[in-house]
Amino acid sequence: MPHLSLEYSDQLSGFDAAAALLTLNRVLLASGEFEELDIKSRAIAFSSYLIGTQTQGHAFVHLKLALLSGRSAAIKHQLSEQLLQALQQTCVWPPAIQVQLCVEIIEIERASYSKVTISN
């Protein structure tokens, strides 16, 4: 834990999802809240989406951070703000497209989460 899921509209041709994930993972590590090997991230581009009733001139990047329950609202807010700031700096955003960036913190009930690490 945590799990970071980055969803974005595929028309953002200058958006480097792999570089963004690395930047975001570094932000999480620097927060002091997580161990490096516990941070798992992934990205997926969407070709079918709408913003309002259209796609022309609009794009999005939506970041979901799933955390085990127990962190204060202040810590979750701080993580959200730090991730949003890092996300803003990950790309030269196209001038002809309005891009909506957002960060969502999702709490996973600690009592129902299971994990095992397998290594040979």
User: pLDDT tens-digit profile of 20-42?
Assistant: 999 999 999 999 999 999 999 99
Q: What is the pTM of this model?
A: 0.91
Whether the Cβ atoms of residue 13 and residue 51 lie closer than 8 Å to each other: no
The confidence score (pLDDT) of residue 113 equals: 87
Second-level CATH architecture of 3-112 = 2-Layer Sandwich (3.30)
Residue 58 has pLDDT above 80, yes or no: yes
The confidence score (pLDDT) of residue 56 equals: 85
- The three-state secondary structure class of 23 is helix
Q: Residue 100 has which token pair?
A: 């909506």
Share of the chain above pLDDT 90, in %: 76
